[in-house]
Structure 1
């Protein structure tokens, strides 16, 4: 049985080492590899075993003698190697779970030569360019929200970098006239958008929904006359057309 694993590990290593060390949705996910993670010049054997039982999904990640056994909120599909900081000699393992816009995540792990340490998880797809930053992309129906994460060197954890606003940059046509307001929390109008006019959706801000775990979006909109104001997601999506909704 040991012999039968060698070709799989070798092929996995070849695929990972000859692909860019960034995960943007196109790199092949694997279940086994042999790669130097801690920078000591010696490759570690890496394996991932996905499990499913009556309680849901889980996985066992092994790097050398180090093991992580944890539950997952979604189906486990494989891992890819990323290099968060090309200035050091280390690389990280990103375990991919889920397949939809809602449940797709990467759980990232660092290996120090003895133990595996969870760095946290981020929504996928992610971009890793070796500059110590991870960009996480989350589809918001008609635009893509980009979140930034950096590594807290002392804690060895991913830290989210807050943004007050998120860039949207989409155009739409007004199907039914509606007002845009001075702030996102009041109803004082800046302008009444004309039916048939073209607007630009500039920015979004996340707003908590009372009694719910999720957050809603409010949007900063520029009118065809150059005036800027806020509108709720429900009004924007129901009274315009041309926004690039998936499907």
Structure 2
């Protein structure tokens, strides 16, 4: 269950310079490491009506573009197909995705949403295994690698293929802040989530009517907490993987 949300913050990399996608792709969304088609590169071969009009262009490295050109760069509606099998279909402005668009990765992961100046701003990511993220994105600079990426930030929702879901705050690609974890069996945990692993301090209600207040690890009771049964009796103690051990 937790694998995709752990991959989420590491894998959504979406930064654009000129026409090229720059990034450090890892895991399931793994195909955006491209050099910019800008200064120092040979100009593309284009048919149609450059520098302004409808064109088809072939870029150094094998990428292709079809769509609107203004002053020698994509602007308006267009499709950019990468030599590695990725493609972007949507709106461009000043040579980069800007507006509504769809990016389809070669492994069939896809992002459908709104771009601003080449980065994801708001939309839906669908992973090949059926997991989904819906929400906002923020531009983040990795303090170790200095790579700039667009990752989940602000309010969002991660829906697992099995039907479980987390709704709440994200920061730099990870759950971080107030949120709610709801499982398909009816378990609901509300609290302060801390990381990709869904560690938290939370209050949970179970289908039986019992409640739990305390620490979570991996989205289950783990650490110090208290079980309150349906009669209101309280059982404080230390939990490990959902079980009271002392």
Regarding TM over 0.5, the answer is no
Structure with bigger strand share is 2
TM-score normalised by the chain length of structure 1: 0.32
User: Which has the larger share of helix?
Assistant: 1
